Amino acid sequence: MRFRASIENADTFFRIIQAVEKLQKKCIMKFSEDVMYIICNSEANEGGIQVWSQIKVDSLFTSYRIQSNASNVITMALSSEALLATLKSASTSSKSAYETEEIVMKLAKKNDQAVLSFEISGMTRQGRKVRVAHDVKIEVMKPADVANLKEPMCPEPDVHIILPPLQKLRPIVERLRPMSDFLGVRANNNGRLQLSIRTDTVNVDTEWKNCKNTNRASTASQDSEPDRDPDELFSVLVSTKSFFKFLNSHVVSTTTIACICRDHCMILYVYVGDLADAGGVLTFYIPGQLIDE
Amino acid sequence: MSQNGEESEEVHLPPVLKASVHDVRYFAALLRGVNFVNRATVTITKTGFVVVVEEARTLLATAYIFADIFDEYTYNSESPAAPQDSQNSEPEEEDNSAFEIPLNTLIECLNIFGTAGSSGSAAGAGAATGKYKKWKRGGDDSDQEGDDDDAHGRRSSNGTGGNKSIDHYFGNAADKGTGMRMTYAGSGFPLTLLIAEDAAGPTTTCEITTYEAEANLQLPFEPDRMVLKIILKSSWLRDALSELDPSCDKLTFIGNPPPAVINGKQRQQPRLANGTPMLRIQAAGTFGSTEMDYPNDRDVLETFECTRPVTFSYRFGHISRTLRALQSSTKTSLRIDDEGLLSLQFLMPSPKAKAEAAADAFIEFRCLPLDDELV
């Protein structure tokens, strides 16, 4: 089992892990020949939120080499917190004492413990060379366990809508969070999006018009019945905390598409980089909550 | 168009209250000044509304919000038979509508876009000098009337002075705030807020449940029983109070009559001849005590009237509730009556550019003294 790569885009990698770390302290990373998958699927997550993300290897790494018996795929479980700390010291955006020149990430074994070892070499302001090494303990997963990892099954969504910038959504949901545990998300195929809470003391509805609807180009089938009323609102009730955790991905997002499967779940595609030339996508699944309104 | 809900109601009866403002920050700052207990009683009258909050049957905070801070303000009496006389000294007999509301929820709703945070008050703090000369100069009227007189007094002083700080104007124009439209259809209906940042952005509709108003604590302050009256710049009091350790549990105000004025010189002395302070704030807690003396200087104490030596103590926890209002106010009037009832009034400078119309709102706190300190 061999694995080695240079991290070209440490800032983006840092921000992706930042979004993931807020959700779950441990995550699963699966490296294949051209895609890196980050999976958070713990049952214990608040409101059952899951993340399944795919990042193109080219958008983060160079000199990427991978070899394993499981058709060149390596799957590992590791602490997202530790990974975040490592990337923070490697990222140029942090106020570190040195300029990062090269970051090499590789699989290694130290004292019988599998680690993901990061070697950061850089230059201080005084022009001295520095080398910083971080080892993040990992647990390589058996192919049988990997096969058990299944993305949640969802029906064909009723509506796809491009969300307003997540930085704008976040303060609003932040206000709503203490007021209600459940957040109603509604959208129609005519650019309308609503976030609402209903409690004994207050009802709050925030509405956007002029959002864009999309059908995901790749999977879009032409069977979206044209006779459907575009103004019909599809709604799903999700845990406010889960939705707020999803909004932590605002650090990395450019475009976010929300899909609503009425009364079932919500799927959020957070694109890293431009929609057209997306380096990757973080997919959040937030299950719908059933309570009597 | 999101108001469809109550549009049907309006057909039968005009809503009791309809108010709108293009920037909610001032309104939110006023509400925030009394936001220490979630349940507030709101009384709507023709001239504005009054928000009352009480704690522990000891502390009563009232925010007077005049109608002219809103761009539009329409009040339709719920009981058309009631006399339209708002000059009545008994609040119960006034033509008004009252309800209780979760205050914190209201403020959070106003701040839904995160843009109602800081009010324009910071700009006002520096520009206070000489502007509010007429404030509470009279002080002899009964309170309810006093408030009314004040509003008029200030209006005229603002009109003639015309010296609203230019900061207000720029502060207002530079960052666009959140606009709001508020309607209250009447008893039993929710308070409906329609909030929007700009035409392109999202709109938020909030329906806040209102509750039947319960009788509040009444702490009437009789001006003829007043033994101490001080008017000072809010920053002088704010700095003193914020200096104190939060673990303090008791705060004492000590006032002594100023020496007879023979010539102007005596006024500069911080203490009287025998070493007793004119005004001292004393705080005591588990870890020690703090004493702060104010000099009898016109620059510090604009007005100082004291008929006899007074010492009254209050719970620091209650007095510190005033800090939020104090922070955004420019001028403070502190009065104590012969039984120790404390009345603190904070003038909240209006950020409005059109000075002629805007009466500055104010917030009043009344607090009962600690019993064992009765002198």
Please write the tens of the pLDDT for every residue from B100-146: 999 999 999 999 998 776 533 333 333 333 333 333 333 333 333 33
pLDDT at B94: 60
> What is the pLDDT confidence band of residue B36, given thresholds at 50, 70 and 90?
very high
Cα atoms in the 13 Å half-sphere on the side-chain side of A151: 13
Query: How high does pLDDT run on average in chain A?
Result: 88
Q: Which residues contact B153 (CB under 8 A, 6 or more apart)?
A: B134, B135, B137, B138
The packing angle between helices A10-21 and A80-90, to 10°, is: 150
Average confidence (pLDDT) over B318-338: 93
pLDDT at B137: 34
Sort out which chain A residues have CB atoms less than 8 A from B108's CB and list them.
175, 178-179
- The helix (H) or strand (E) run that includes residue A115 is strand A113-124
Average confidence (pLDDT) over A37-58: 86
Sort out which chain B residues have CB atoms less than 8 A from A186's CB and list them.
none
Cα atoms in the 13 Å half-sphere on the side-chain side of B126: 7
What tokens appear for B216 in the block?
């509040």
Q: Are the Cβ atoms of B207 and A202 closer than 8 angstroms?
A: yes
pLDDT at B124: 35
Sort out which chain A residues have CB atoms less than 8 A from B190's CB and list them.
203
pLDDT over threshold 60, residue B297 = yes
Sort out which chain B residues have CB atoms less than 8 A from A177's CB and list them.
none
Which domains does chain A carry?
2-147 (3.70.10.10), 159-287 (3.70.10.10)
Looking at residue B114, its amino acid is G
Q: Is B38 on the interface with A (CB under 8 A)?
A: no
Name the minimum distance, in Å, from the CA of B44 to any CA of chain A: 20
Per residue in A129-152, pLDDT (tens digit) is: 989 999 999 999 998 999 988 888
**Which of B109, B200, B201 has the CB atom closest to A204's CB atom?**
B109
Q: Position of tokens 């545990």?
A: A181
Q: Position of tokens 């510090």?
A: B300
pLDDT at B274: 61
pLDDT over threshold 70, residue B26 = yes
CA distance A159 to A262: 9
pLDDT at B105: 94
Which of B100, B101, B205, B211 should one mutate to test binding to chain A, selecting the residue with the greatest count of A CBs within 10 A?
Answer: B205
Average confidence (pLDDT) over A29-46: 87
Which of B26-35, B93-102, B189-198 is the least confident region?
Answer: B93-102
pLDDT at A199: 94
Q: Give me the percent of chain A exceeding a pLDDT of 90.
A: 64
C-beta of residue B296 within 8 angstroms of C-beta of residue B276: no
For residues B296 and A87, the model is more confident at A87
Which of A82-96, A150-164, B114-128, B240-254 is the least confident region?
Answer: B114-128
pLDDT at B287: 87
Which of A91-105, A208-222, B42-56 is the least confident region?
Answer: A208-222
pLDDT over threshold 50, residue A44 = yes
CATH topology of domain B223-363: Proliferating Cell Nuclear Antigen (3.70.10)
pLDDT over threshold 80, residue A21 = yes
CA distance B194 to B203: 7
Average confidence (pLDDT) over A155-175: 93
Average confidence (pLDDT) over B92-103: 81
Domains B4-127+165-212 and B223-363 share a fold: yes
CATH code assigned to B4-127+165-212: 3.70.10.10
pLDDT over threshold 90, residue B371 = no
Looking at residue A125, its amino acid is R
**Which of A178, A202, A207 has the CB atom closest to B2's CB atom?**
A207
Best-predicted range by mean pLDDT (B125-134, B256-265, B274-283, B333-342) = B333-342
pLDDT at B353: 52
pLDDT at B127: 35
pLDDT over threshold 50, residue B173 = no
Among B115, B108, B107, B119, smallest CA distance to B176 is for B115
C-alpha B145 chain-centroid distance: 16
Name the minimum distance, in Å, from the CA of B236 to any CA of chain A: 34
Average confidence (pLDDT) over B243-257: 91
Q: Give me the percent of chain B exceeding a pLDDT of 70.
A: 69
For residues B119 and A177, the model is more confident at A177
Name the minimum distance, in Å, from the CA of B3 to any CA of chain A: 11
Cross-sheet strand order for the sheet of B288-294: B288-294, B279-285, B248-255, B310-315
Which of A199-208, B50-59, B310-319, B351-360 is the least confident region?
Answer: B351-360
Q: Are the Cβ atoms of A174 and B114 closer than 8 angstroms?
A: yes
pLDDT at B261: 58
Query: Whole-prediction pTM value?
Result: 0.81
Per residue in A92-118, pLDDT (tens digit) is: 765 667 888 899 999 999 999 999 999
Which of A227-231, B7-11, B170-174 is the least confident region?
Answer: B170-174
Write B277-281 long-range contacts (CB < 8 A, 24+): B278/B304, B278/B306, B279/B230, B279/B253, B279/B254, B279/B255, B279/B304, B280/B252, B280/B253, B280/B254, B280/B255, B281/B240, B281/B241, B281/B251, B281/B252, B281/B253, B281/B254
What tokens appear for A250 in the block?
């605002």
Sort out which chain A residues have CB atoms less than 8 A from B208's CB and list them.
201-202
C-beta of residue B271 within 8 angstroms of C-beta of residue B278: yes
pLDDT over threshold 90, residue B337 = yes
Name the minimum distance, in Å, from the CA of A180 to any CA of chain B: 11
pLDDT at B128: 34
pLDDT at B145: 37
Which of A180-194, B8-22, B186-200, B349-363 is the least confident region?
Answer: B349-363
> What is the pLDDT confidence band of residue B291, given thresholds at 50, 70 and 90?
very high
pLDDT at B132: 33
- The helix (H) or strand (E) run that includes residue A163 is none
Q: Between A and B, how many CB-CB pairs are < 8 A?
A: 60
Sort out which chain B residues have CB atoms less than 8 A from A164's CB and list them.
202
> What is the pLDDT confidence band of residue B77, given thresholds at 50, 70 and 90?
confident
Name the minimum distance, in Å, from the CA of B351 to any CA of chain A: 25
Q: Closest residue of B to A206, CA-based?
A: B204
Q: Is B204 helix (H, G, I), strand (E, B) or coil?
A: strand
Indicate the Cα dihedral angle B215, B208, B350, B242, nearest 10°.
Answer: 70
pLDDT at B154: 38
Assembly ipTM:
0.84
Name the minimum distance, in Å, from the CA of A210 to any CA of chain B: 9
pLDDT at B312: 93
Q: Spell out which chain A residues touch chain B, with contact meaning CB-CB distance below 8 angstroms.
A: 164, 168, 171-172, 174-176, 178-179, 200-208, 210
Sort out which chain A residues have CB atoms less than 8 A from B114's CB and list them.
171-172, 174-175
pLDDT at A43: 73
Average confidence (pLDDT) over A256-279: 86
Name the minimum distance, in Å, from the CA of B102 to any CA of chain A: 7
Q: Are the Cβ atoms of A206 and B204 closer than 8 angstroms?
A: yes
pLDDT at A227: 57
Domain segments of chain B as ranges:
4-127+165-212, 223-363
C-beta of residue B231 within 8 angstroms of C-beta of residue B216: no
Which of A263-267, B39-43, B163-167 is the least confident region?
Answer: B163-167
> What is the pLDDT confidence band of residue B217, given thresholds at 50, 70 and 90?
confident
Average confidence (pLDDT) over B55-84: 84
Average confidence (pLDDT) over A25-29: 92
For residues B288 and B350, the model is more confident at B288
Q: Position of tokens 């006032």?
A: B255
